[in-house]
Structure 1
Amino acid sequence: MANFASTGDMAEKTITFTEIGEGLYAFTAQGDPNTGIIVGDEAVMVIDAQATPVMAEKVIERVRSVTDKPVRYVVLSHYHAVRVLGASAYGADEIIASDATRSLIVERGKEDWDSELGRFPRLFQAAESVPGLTWPSMTFEGRMTVWLGKRRVELIHMGRGHTAGDTVAWVPDSRVMFSGDLVEYHSACYCGDAHFSDWPQTLDRIASFAPRALVPGRGDALDTPEMVADGIALTRDFLTTLYGSVSESAARGLSLKEAYDRSREAMDPRFGDFAIYEHCQPFNVARAYDEACGLDHPRIWTAERDREMWAALQG
């Protein structure tokens, strides 16, 4: 049986820190979770915090190489542990998330932490440095404006997709967007908590802003309008191919294992070389199958459920 999830992925990744607009940076590492940085004239905003305070220090080190302004805001694009548990390291005044994201932390934050730690140990360097769940100090329903001095940042809950609570950050003065995991670039979409029927429309809303550059959840920063369009199209293609295959299997009354095997035939030739593809596919198919069978609210992943599902599909 293949190594469970990403437990076999222990190789250190090369970090890049790219300026994609004036005072706008992407912290990326070969398919690991990205962090975005927005430097205003008075303060800094960080989008997605990394998985532990020790991992977050690598981001802080890069931020300090370009500015000494205080990090006042940490924005959580969604609730997943690899994105949020490092937040305490920044010493921010406010931690901001959508109302829906806070509700998901209440409902499943602890289970998700245990699950993700088991799936991807390399991303949780010094896991003991995590002080506990990350709780937003400020939430919003649809849209919120934050002023970093004269610089305006729009935080927008675009609709359901990767999770029910996904938030993007839009910087109008530079036409740059930080999408969280709603957009990926040459990386598999993780869809274990997804809403497949909504996600393509959410991508349409992102595209309607016509971003000049975009920082995806994983993969290289997209620093031209052409690359942005390519990233959105690749993400859409991944989702529609996956859900199309699995929903067809479910409609035919095939088992989850049969749906998984058929999805691999449809997906492997096109997406098999994407980062974390092997890790994601069993979780993705399990959620797609549930949604195709009428389960709107994703089931909670626990460390135990993870292992049972993996054995059933990858065994």
Structure 2
Amino acid sequence: MRMRHGVLRWLGGTMLGLLAAAASADVVRSVEVAPGNHVLIGSRNEASRQNHGEVGNLGFIVGDDAVLVVNAGTSYAHGRQLLARVAEAAPGRRTAMLVLTQPLPEFVLGTAAFSDQGVPVVAHEAAARLLSQRCEQCLENLRALLGDEAMVGTRVVAPDRPIAADTRIELGTHPVELIAPGWSSAPGDLMVFDRRAGVLFSGAVVTERRIPEVRDARLDAWRETLARIATLSPRLIVPGYGAPGDTGLLKALDGYLATLERFVEARLNDGASLQETINAAETDAAFLAYRDWAGYPAIHRRNVHHRYLELEARSFRN
């Protein structure tokens, strides 16, 4: 199929439906979403024994003679599962590198499976710092949640190739861009763009029908990054969570972030307490469009909590 027909036509309506169903279920599916671009669709939900912690999307890009992998999964076993999919889809090609888009347990704790195979691990230097500060505790939390058996062999591995800016990678004659938009959804956000195919692996910078986590975010910068993604004109965005889609994903996510900001600021200005604001946010009509997104109300309540405290602290400084 010629690229001018577009990635969405490559997928077709039936495949897009399967991707959406896979993202909603607590199972992992993989699909080639464009020539050479593969995605393992994880659950939209938070980690649980039901989904084995296999939360969020992983992927890989097959070049002429090498493969670039995007995120490593939640555990050693999850990372091995991803390596098996790579070997199946690209027999005989070496895995050139693993790129970690954010320091989130569902993206980084499978890294040991790649490190044990000698695969270089790339992350933004700010993400690498946060990973070293937090991920041992994340690992302990997941062991308690999923059980020791599910986490056998899992260990925290530091990236050995930290980067600080946009970087171009050559997979033979197939160029891939690592985009460092600055602190948006988290310190050290990275995105992976296969410009030739028009596919952007956004990591947690974009979510699809899943409430985003704002704990580590800078909301204004995040919304600016969403606008920047639109200027790249990707044919397909592979979000960190949920089904791949077009730039409509950006508008939906930006709508939630803007609504969250307006709601919390208005409540704070009206003198509402933190707990009153959290309780009101769960049922307020402003969030009606987001109530069927995964993570609502649990992540949403956390977001209101974090944003209230941030805006309150800002008001004291001013």
Shorter-chain TM-score: which interval? 0.7 to 0.9
Change in Cα spacing, 1:14 to 1:212, as seen in structure 2 (3 Å) is same
Aligned to 1:244: 262
Question: Deviations 1:24-53 (Å, cap 9, x if unpaired)?
Answer: 011103423100211111211111111101
Aligned to 2:109: 85
On the 8 A contact 1:76/1:95 being kept in 2, the answer is yes
The higher relative CO (CA closer than 8 Å, separation ≥ 6) is in 1
1:248-267 pair list within 5 angstroms: 248-264=266-282, 265-266=284-285
Aligned to 1:145: 168
For the residue of structure 2 that corresponds to 1:288, the secondary structure is helix
- Normalising by structure 1, what TM-score? 0.81
1:77-226 pair list within 5 angstroms: 77-90=101-114, 91-114=117-140, 121-122=145-146, 126-131=150-155, 133-222=156-245
Question: Deviations 1:166-194 (Å, cap 9, x if unpaired)?
Answer: 10001121121100011111111122222
- Normalising by structure 2, what TM-score? 0.80
Aligned to 1:14: 27
Letter in 2 for 1:70: R
TM-superposed deviation, 1:70: 2.2
On the 8 A contact 1:241/1:266 being kept in 2, the answer is no
CA distance in 2, matches of 1:50, 1:181: 13
Residue number among 253, 257, 260 corresponding to 1:235 in the alignment: 253
CA distance in 1, matches of 2:162, 2:65: 22
TM-superposed deviation, 1:100: 1.3
Change in Cα spacing, 1:44 to 1:111, as seen in structure 2 (3 Å) is same
On the 8 A contact 1:194/1:287 being kept in 2, the answer is no
CA distance in 2, matches of 1:248, 1:236: 18
Change in Cα spacing, 1:285 to 1:112, as seen in structure 2 (3 Å) is farther
Aligned length: 278
Aligned to 1:26: 39
Letter in 1 for 2:136: K
Residue number among 82, 85, 90 corresponding to 1:59 in the alignment: 82
CA distance in 1, matches of 2:137, 2:267: 29
Change in Cα spacing, 1:267 to 1:115, as seen in structure 2 (3 Å) is farther
Letter in 2 for 1:195: R
On the 8 A contact 2:268/2:312 being kept in 1, the answer is yes
CA distance in 2, matches of 1:293, 1:211: 37
Change in Cα spacing, 1:109 to 1:267, as seen in structure 2 (3 Å) is farther
Letter in 2 for 1:247: E
State the percentage of identical aligned residues. 25
Is 1:70–2:89 an aligned residue pair? no
Letter in 1 for 2:119: D
TM-superposed deviation, 1:12: 7.2
Gaps of 5+ in 1: 1-10, 223-227, 297-315
Letter in 2 for 1:93: V
Is 1:273–2:297 an aligned residue pair? no
